[in-house]
Amino acid sequence: MKNMKTYGDKLEFTVKHLSLGVLWSLISILMVILRRLSIGAINPLANQNREMYLKRPANILQNSLEQFIISSFGQISLISYLPNWAVVKVVPWINFLFFVGRISFTLGYPKYRTFRMLMTLVPNIGMTCFITFNWMRFAFQV
């Protein structure tokens, strides 16, 4: 897919790589479901006093979904500013770091999550800064 001619080609390439984030989102949802099944808290609306046992997987799921949304929209915007050769190099790395970062975040949660959280947060911050800078450059062009 190195012969990308349009934004649509770049978008197709990016969406294919976002599948790692989708996979992690499904894994996170399954972790919550499996935890619910293991403690017998199937109905989240029932007052079973077991919700505290779901805190860890629920927090991991929420944080992962938040990071995935930021990463996804960031990449969709980012590729409009990058040349083709940069899209091919940057997008796979962002998604690889996301997936590995989420796995290690889960393994280290809650005590050892900082570095692992940074594996997804730093690329998201970098993308946001790059996008904002380029948007401002474009928006205030005379």
Residue 124: CATH number of its domain: 1.20.120.550
Q: Angle, to 10 degrees, between the axis of helix 55-78 and the axis of helix 19-39?
A: 170
Interval 32-51 mean pLDDT: 80
In a domain, 50, yes or no: yes
In a domain, 100, yes or no: yes
pLDDT of residue 2: 64
More confident residue, 1 or 78: 78
Q: Helices H, strands E: what count in the chain? A: 5, 0
Question: Is-contact 100 46, C-beta < 8 A?
Answer: no
Calculate the average pLDDT of the chain: 92
**Distance in angstroms (rounded) separating the CA atoms of residues 114 and 119:** 9
pLDDT value at 45 more than 80: no
Interval 33-50 mean pLDDT: 79
pLDDT of residue 43: 72
pLDDT of residue 142: 55
pTM of the entire predicted model:
0.89
Number of structural domains the chain divides into: 1
